[in-house]
Chains A and B, each alone.
Chain A
């Protein structure tokens, strides 16, 4: 760095080059405010709890981050997660746990592949395609539900252990989540597939001219997204412990918000999963904070929306300057 740079420009440049720093600062600030609001809340137990709740959100947000890198979105992720959880829980008493998990994940893969077929081969807008797939899948779930209601449900102990259990105060979900996050971050940064996602997202025409078969990339991507959503469903059922028809649907929009707050551009080509994880933590802490305020539900919704908007706007200003 040359000596002519003022500390301010140096700071903005640093922030622009390391977009994670302001996010982590924001997270720390939120936790600090929480501690002031309710002294003594900060404990290993509370941190464990926050992480436990944030894990399914962060995993579902992985679907959004990866698809958003190519300029797409996966609005069927919540539905796919719900289906996987429900199918697994209802089939487990009939077929046994491993078979049920395999069938449930196969459903998730199928939904992802349908998305991929429409988006990659028929060139349907991802928003519309994933919306339509979500509608169809939800209808299938409702029909399926009528035939299995009598069989009873079973949630495997392993999933409950993963979803709710903790060892020495640390949530067990991290056993799955840390390798998962490491794999995604390594994948997007270091593998050819990851680079292809950024290439397709920042300029699909240029990528195609450089010999990228973008339809193969997109097909693989949306199938992968379906699989991730399925895994999220399995974790979530271990956390919630009752299969319902709207299990993960309420996470659909927050998962988009987590990716956006985490600095992934919805137009593609910019962002990464590291930011999304912090984004999911920010949203979870924010929800706790709003619950603590003892406000009516409506006011909480208003604040939640405004804060997401403010954070995103600020973040865009910060990173664009560099």
Chain B
């Protein structure tokens, strides 16, 4: 029990912080309600998916600096393929984009394994490659999103058989996120593959000696990251209705949220719930500051300061813990 508490202490703290922030938002803006939650969910969705992708690869001991560029590639591919396509065709296009994302991620991983160059350098080089690819696919923002896809991310949840009043407060974008998490991460986490991610992240040599195929596991981790990047790219197209070839500010935000969410850089520790909570905390802070009509530039300062101070506190606490 104590072990469970200390393991998930960070996540519980974040959940508490998020709850406190939600209460504060309600105090600042008394009519904050269903539509406010909805816009929060929509704003956070691409960030959350990018963060999930980054979290997986960081757990496996890597880092993927090309994440935002992969999202751009997926966003433009989806927008380009869905332009003027029927509903069925656009569904096929989405499946293709997901496969594309996983393939791009797997390529990143394979290059890391084959070249023996550090992860951070390989993905830095791939950042330029994917960025160039996105520009080749679509030179300027354009394309279109299927109407049903756009509707998927807007508004509250409505289920048949259950009265609407019960579920409408839950934004569809949050449900979308939860479904992605449940369909992709839960099966992996429960399978030997998930254990191997943590194993190669915490000590690659020990994992190798215990019979874990380190190279293949690493490629798999990068492929999962690519898959989340594809979902993130689709989410960008979903919310804007077009494809955006210039990578958004997702890379730095994802690294920040991953670290804030209790995943240790260097690998082997942390989960995916913490980073998601961290994304919502960061977005909510931004929203609160906007509601208080603070200069948006000050918001950037506050965001950076939160990230640095929280991580500093974490570092100091960890040192204390080691000493005693």
Binding site for B on A (CB under 8 A): 118, 122-125, 127-129, 131-136, 138-140, 142-143, 146, 253, 256-257, 260, 265-267, 296-306, 308-309, 312-313, 316-317
Apart from the given pairs A296-B135, A300-B132, 6 other A-B contacts in the complex at a CB distance below 8 Å: A129-B311, A136-B308, A139-B304, A253-B128, A297-B135, A302-B129
Q: Which one of A123, A136, A316 lies within 8 Å of B116 (CB-CB)?
A: A316
20 contacts between A and B (CB under 8 A): A124-B308, A124-B312, A131-B256, A136-B300, A136-B301, A139-B297, A139-B299, A142-B297, A253-B124, A253-B128, A266-B121, A296-B135, A298-B133, A301-B129, A301-B132, A305-B130, A306-B125, A308-B128, A312-B121, A316-B116
Is A128 in contact with B255, judged by CB distance below 8 angstroms?
A: yes
Tell whether B18 is near chain A: CB-to-CB under 8 Å. Answer: no
Closest to A137 in B: B304
Complex contact A267–B134 (CB within 8 A)? no
| Complex: chain B residue closest to A122, CB-CB | B312
Give the complex CA separation of A139 and B286 in angstroms: 13
**A-side contacts of B130, CB under 8 Å:** 305
A300's closest neighbor in chain B, by CB? Answer: B132
How far, in Å, is B218 (CB) from chain A's closest CB? Answer: 16
Which residues of chain B are within 8 angstroms of A297 by Cβ–Cβ distance? 132, 135
Q: Mark B248-267, 1 if CB is under 8 A from A, else 0.
A: 00001001100100000110
> Does B312 contact A146, Cβ atoms closer than 8 Å?
no
B159 interface residue, CB < 8 Å from A?
A: no
- B300 CB contact (under 8 Å) in A139, A296, A298: A139
**CB of B187 closer than 8 Å to a CB of A:** no
Q: A257-B124, A266-B121, A309-B115 are contacts. A125–B259 as well, Cβ < 8 Å? A: yes
Is B128 in contact with A304, judged by CB distance below 8 angstroms?
yes
User: A301 to B66, alpha carbons, bound, how many Å?
Assistant: 13
Overall SS of chain B's interface: helix
Chain B residues whose CB sits within 8 angstroms of the CB of A133 once the complex forms: 304, 308
List which B185-234 residues lie within 8 A (CB) of chain A: none
Q: Chain B interface (Cβ within 8 Å of chain A)?
A: 111, 115-118, 120-122, 124-137, 139, 252, 255-256, 259, 265-266, 295, 297-305, 307-308, 311-312, 315-316, 318-319
Q: Which residues of A contact B308 (CB under 8 A)?
A: 118, 124, 128-129, 132-133, 136
Alpha-carbon gap, A113 to B259, bound state (A): 22
Docked complex Cα distance between A317 and B133 (Å): 28
What is the minimal beta-carbon distance from B125 to any residue of chain A, in angstroms? 4
B234 to chain A, nearest CB (A): 21
Cross-chain contact A305 with B298 (CB below 8 angstroms): no
Of all chain B residues, the one with the shortest Cβ separation from A296 is: B136
Instruction: Establish whether residues B304 and A135, one from each chain, have CB atoms under 8 Å apart when the complex forms.
Output: yes
Question: In the complex, what residues of A have CB within 8 A of residue B298's CB?
Answer: 139, 143
Query: What is the CB-to-nearest-CB distance from B250 to chain A, in angstroms, rounded to a whole number?
Result: 13
CB distance from A245 to the nearest CB of B (A): 10
Find out whether the CB atom of B295 lies under 8 angstroms from the CB atom of A305: no
Whether B111 contacts A309 by the Cβ 8 Å rule is: yes
**Do A124 and B315 touch (CB < 8 A)?**
yes
Contact between chains at A305 and B129 (CB < 8 Å): yes
Q: Which residue of the partner chain, among B132, B311, B315, contacts A298 with CB atoms under 8 Å?
A: B132
Shortest beta-carbon distance, B25 to chain A, in Å? 21
A131 touching B132 in the complex, CB below 8 Å, given contacts A139-B301, A143-B298: no
* CB of B289, distance to nearest CB on chain A (Å): 11
Residues of B within 8 A of A128 (CB): 255-256, 259, 265, 307-308, 311
